């Protein structure tokens, strides 16, 4: 697919959002891991508010065939981030494209 997305055009900037404390971020990390532990079908969990987003991704470590339950967590914490949403991705319809078409 050919997506008409150009950073930073159309992206929302969360840098000036409410600052989230390290204690709260640590709570979010625990919540995301707990969510993944309770739902073995999910591969990621996330929480976002203010200027911060926490993403925890789970992936299986296939180097250990004798233990099919062996997996790793990747934890991503962002403070101040940019976000773009591609609406109806099969039609390549993003906020960037909407803004460009409307001249804003």
Locate the DSSP E strands across 1-104: 12-13, 44-49, 52-60, 71-79, 82-83, 86-87, 93-94
β-partners of residue 61 are: none
Within 8 A by CB and 6+ apart from 14, the residues are 50, 51, 53, 80, 81, 82, 83
Residue whose C-alpha is closest to residue 97's, from 6, 19, 24: 6
Predicted TM-score of the model (pTM): 0.75
The model's pLDDT over 20-70, given as tens digits with 9 standing for 90+, comes to 999 999 999 999 999 999 998 899 999 999 999 999 999 887 766 666 667
pLDDT(76) > 80:
yes
For 9, counting Cβ atoms within 10 Å of its Cβ (0-12 exposed, 13-18 middle, 19+ buried), the class is: middle
DSSP label at residue 50:
T
d(CA 90, CA 86): 9
pLDDT at 104: 41
């Amino acid at each position: 697919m050919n997506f008409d997305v150009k950073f930073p055009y159309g992206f929302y900037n969360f840098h000036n959002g409410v600052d989230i404390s390290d204690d709260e971020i640590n709570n979010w990390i625990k919540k995301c891991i707990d969510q993944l532990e309770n739902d073995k079908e999910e591969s990621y969990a996330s929480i976002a508010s203010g200027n911060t987003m926490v993403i925890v991704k789970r992936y299986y470590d296939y180097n250990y065939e004798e233990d099919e339950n062996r997996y790793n967590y990747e934890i991503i914490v962002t403070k101040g981030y940019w976000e773009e949403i591609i609406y109806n991705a099969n039609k390549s319809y993003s906020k960037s494209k909407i803004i460009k078409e409307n001249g804003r």
